Structure 1
Amino acid sequence: MEKARTIGLGMDYSPTSKAALRWVIDNLVQGDQDRLILIHVRSSKSDHDQKKLWGDSGSPLIPLEELKETTVSRQYGLNPDSEVLDLLDTVSRTKGAKVMCKVYWGDPREKICDAVEELKLDSLVVGSRGLGALKRVLLGSVSNYAVLNATCPVTVIKGTPVLKP
């Protein structure tokens, strides 16, 4: 019998984070012992009441059933799209995985690594926007930071490189 695993997924509803979600479902989630936790990091400038309450530690874990409720999502400043919710619902029903969400406020690089420690993740999956080397140096790369600083294995799902005409 397999040990229960906790898999974290950095989610911002971008095409690469959706690709990372599909990869997690196809390659990591195996059964009802697994927990899949979506990790959202909101800007520290956002001014939601939930940030005032949970700003330092991040929100409590939000079960999938609550995440699907528009009022709950909006309380945390999230706008989950139907594609992501359908994928999460499917993995929950077909594989029996427990799906949850946690919201943090602040620098995504630091908060994702904080989540690894706090949630005791066995694995972290993040998408990469495919920034060129110069933009990655100027803007910073969440995926690169996670690979170098997270205390669990990190899988980076690459996006299509951004090409300028």
Structure 2
Amino acid sequence: MEGERTVGVAVDFSACSKKALKWALENVVRNGDHLILINIQSEVLYEVGEIQLWEATGSPLIPLSELSDAGIAKKYGVKPDPETLDILNCVARQKEIVVVMKIFWGDPRDKICEAIDKIPLSCLVIGNRGLGKIKRALLGSVSNYVVNNGTCPVTVVKQGDHE
């Protein structure tokens, strides 16, 4: 994977996705890479006209500088926490990487796999909520689905039991 890479990290700003992001920044992302934050919104807010247009293709790429703007974040329905934004801004300067977010609306399993192909991603890092065997059997695991159906290398960062 030499040259310019496009590294994806699935984020929902939960503790497990933040852990996956930190892991990706420490272990995968290199100087000059493009880091694409993939965010999936399950609800489509039809009051916002642009979202109707983006439902099929996902949002435009949103630069990191715009994610810090409360108006932009509200427009897209995302709530990035200050700690995550600080981490991203710091790493973007240190490693000289481009950080953008792309938002999709719908089922996370399908939309993350779709993002891999549409962007396209060189690799993807995703968190795992650590569901028990019964919940995983009933609800299904997004990370398991993406590992089995994604068309790029996928790394799952597990949420530890002690966290």
With the length of structure 2 as denominator, give the TM-score of the two structures.
0.94
Superposed structure 1 runs of 4+ greater than 6 Å apart: none
Structure 2 match to 1:42: 41
Unmatched 5+ stretches in structure 2:
none
Structure 2 match to 1:152: 152
Find the aligned partners of 2:115 and 2:51 in 1 and give their Cα distance. Answer: 16
Letter in 1 for 2:98: K
Structure 1 match to 2:3: 3
Q: Percent identity?
A: 49
Structure 1 residues 3 and 48: CA distance shift in structure 2, 3 A = farther
- Say if 1:6 and 1:37, in contact at 8 Å, map to a contact too: yes
Q: Give runs of aligned pairs for residues 133-144 of structure 1, distance below 5 A.
A: 133-144=133-144
- Say if 2:44 and 2:51, in contact at 8 Å, map to a contact too: no
Structure 2 match to 1:28: 28
Provide Cα deviations, 1:17-62, integer angstroms capped at 9, x if missing partner: 0000100110111102x00000000013444514222111100000
Provide Cα deviations, 1:71-96, integer angstroms capped at 9, x if missing partner: 11110000100011011101110000
- Say if 1:126 and 1:156, in contact at 8 Å, map to a contact too: yes
Q: CA deviation at 1:160?
A: 2.7
Count, aligned residues: 161
Structure 1 match to 2:76: 76
Q: CA deviation at 1:161?
A: 4.0
1:57 alignment partner, SS class: coil
Q: Give the superposed CA RMSD.
A: 1.6
Aligned: 1:53 with 2:53:
yes
